C-alpha cells in the first residue's frame, strides 16, 4: 500500500469515528466565523457546507450562529473583515478560497481553530500546517490540489484542440503555483501561453479578452482562483463572444456556459470541511486532524456551448465526462 493511499485511509478513519461518538453540548449555541473572498452564500458548495452542518446537528438559528463576511472580490478588505470576525468571539473559523483569506484569519484570531478549504495553494508548502497527516497547530481542512490539476486541464484542452498552438491564460496573484505548473506542461505539449495576470481589483476581463483576440489565441484556460468566482457568468460569455473554447476548474463553470471543466467536486469538499468543523466543535483538536486532499474529480462538457462555437467534442472526451450539458 502506498504512503498516499495509507494517508487517505487514515484521514477517512480519523474523521469518521468522532462523528458518531461525540454530541453537541445541550443548550449551547456555537458561533462560526466565515470569511469569504467574494463568493455568495448561495453558491452550491456553500449551501452544501451549511446543509452538512445541519445533518450533523449544528442548525443555524437553533444552536449555530454563522457570522459571514465577504470581501466582494477585494483581497485588501480581508484583514479588516477578519478583525471584525475576531471580535465576535467565534468558537471556530472557516477560511475558504485563496490563501489571503487564511492569512487574514491567522493574524486576527489568536489561537481559535480554523478549518480551511485551500482551493489554490498548498498549505504545507506555504507553511500554514506542518504536514497533511499531522497539521500540528490550530489549522486543518481540505486541500484541492489545483496546481497538479491545472496541467491536466491544459492536456484536455490540447486534446480538444489538436491544431491549437496559442492558449490564453487568466491568472492572478493567487494562482502563481498553478502558473508555474502550466508553463512546464505547455512546454512539453508544444504550446505557447498568452498569460494575462491580474494584480489588483477590479479585474478588467474585457480588456484581457481583447488582448487575447489580438494575439489570435486558440483556446482559453482560466486558472483556479476564488477571485474569478464573481465573474462566473461573465468569463464564459466573453469566451463565447471572442470564440475561445475554454477549459475551467469546476463543473459550476460548465453549467454557467464554459465549454469544458475538470476538477474537484466542490460541494463534496465543502461537506468534508463541514464535518471537520463538527469534529472540532465536538472537542477534536485540529493539530491531530489530517488535512484531506480531495480525491473526487469530474470532467464536464457543455454541448450547447460546443455547438455555438462550432466545435465537435472528441468522443474520448465525451466518454470520460461525468456531466454532459445539452
Task: Give the tens place of pLDDT for each residue, 89-144.
Answer: 999 999 998 899 999 999 999 999 999 999 878 899 899 999 999 999 999 999 98
Model confidence at 14, in pLDDT bands (50, 70, 90)? very low
Q: Taking residues 25-53, report their average pLDDT.
A: 91
The share of the chain scoring above pLDDT 70, in percent, equals 92
- Of residues 191 and 15, more confidence is placed in 191
Q: Taking residues 81-86, report their average pLDDT.
A: 97
Which residue in the block uniquely carries the three cell numbers 489565441? Answer: 217
Establish whether domains 3-145+265-296 and 146-263+298-325 are of one fold: yes
Q: Taking residues 254-274, report their average pLDDT.
A: 94
- Of residues 303 and 266, more confidence is placed in 303
pLDDT value, residue 292:
92
Please state, rounded to an integer, the average pLDDT across all residues of the chain: 90
Tell whether domain 146-263+298-325 is in CATH 3.40.50.2300. yes
pLDDT value, residue 24:
64
- Of residues 9 and 272, more confidence is placed in 272
Most confident of 25-34, 141-150, 269-278: 269-278
pLDDT reading at 147 higher than 80: no
pLDDT reading at 296 higher than 80: no
Tell whether domain 3-145+265-296 is in CATH 3.40.190.10. no
Does a cis peptide bond (omega within 30 degrees of 0) precede residue 202?
yes
pLDDT value, residue 1:
35
pLDDT value, residue 295:
76
pLDDT reading at 313 higher than 70: yes
Q: Where in the chain are the domains?
A: 3-145+265-296, 146-263+298-325
Tell me the residue length of the chain.
Answer: 326
Global model pTM greater than 0.85: no
pLDDT reading at 73 higher than 90: no
Amino acid at each position: 500500500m502506498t504512503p498516499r493511499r495509507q494517508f487517505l485511509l487514515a484521514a477517512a478513519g480519523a474523521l469518521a469515528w468522532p462523528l458518531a461518538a461525540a454530541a453537541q453540548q445541550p443548550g449551547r449555541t456555537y458561533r462560526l466565523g466565515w470569511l469569504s473572498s467574494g463568493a455568495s452564500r448561495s453558491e452550491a458548495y456553500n449551501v452544501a457546507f451549511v446543509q452538512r452542518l445541519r445533518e450533523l446537528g449544528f442548525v443555524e438559528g437553533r444552536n449555530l450562529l454563522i457570522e459571514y463576511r465577504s470581501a466582494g472580490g477585494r483581497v485588501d478588505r480581508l484583514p479588516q473583515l477578519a478583525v471584525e470576525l475576531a471580535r465576535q468571539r467565534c468558537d471556530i473559523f472557516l477560511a475558504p478560497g485563496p490563501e489571503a483569506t487564511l492569512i487574514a484569519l491567522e493574524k486576527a484570531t489568536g489561537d481559535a481553530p480554523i478549518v480551511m478549504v485551500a482551493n489554490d495553494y498548498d498549505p504545507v508548502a506555504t507553511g500554514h500546517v506542518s504536514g497533511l497527516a499531522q497539521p500540528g497547530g490550530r489549522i486543518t481542512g481540505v486541500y484541492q490540489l489545483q496546481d497538479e490539476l491545472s496541467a491536466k486541464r491544459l492536456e484536455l484542452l490540447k486534446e480538444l484542440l489538436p491544431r491549437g498552438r496559442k492558449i490564453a491564460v487568466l491568472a492572478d496573484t493567487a494562482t502563481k503555483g498553478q502558473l508555474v505548473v502550466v508553463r512546464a506542461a505547455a512546454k512539453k505539449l508544444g504550446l505557447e501561453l498568452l498569460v494575462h495576470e491580474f494584480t489588483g481589483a477590479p479585474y478588467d476581463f474585457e480588456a484581457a479578452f481583447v488582448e487575447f483576440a489580438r494575439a489570435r489565441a486558440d483556446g482559453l484556460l482560466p486558472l483556479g482562483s476564488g477571485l474569478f468566482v464573481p465573474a462566473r457568468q461573465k468569463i464564459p460569455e466573453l469566451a463565447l463572444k471572442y470564440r475561445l473554447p475554454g477549459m475551467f476548474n469546476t463543473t459550476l463553470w460548465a453549467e454557467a456556459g464554459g465549454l469544458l471543466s475538470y476538477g474537484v467536486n466542490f460541494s463534496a469538499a465543502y461537506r468534508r470541511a463541514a464535518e471537520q468543523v463538527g469534529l472540532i466543535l465536538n472537542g477534536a483538536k485540529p493539530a491531530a486532524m489530517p488535512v484531506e486532499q480531495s480525491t473526487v474529480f469530474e470532467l464536464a462538457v457543455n454541448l450547447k456551448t460546443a455547438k455555438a462555437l462550432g466545435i465537435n467534442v472528441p468522443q474520448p472526451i465525451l466518454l470520460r465526462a461525468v456531466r454532459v450539458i445539452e
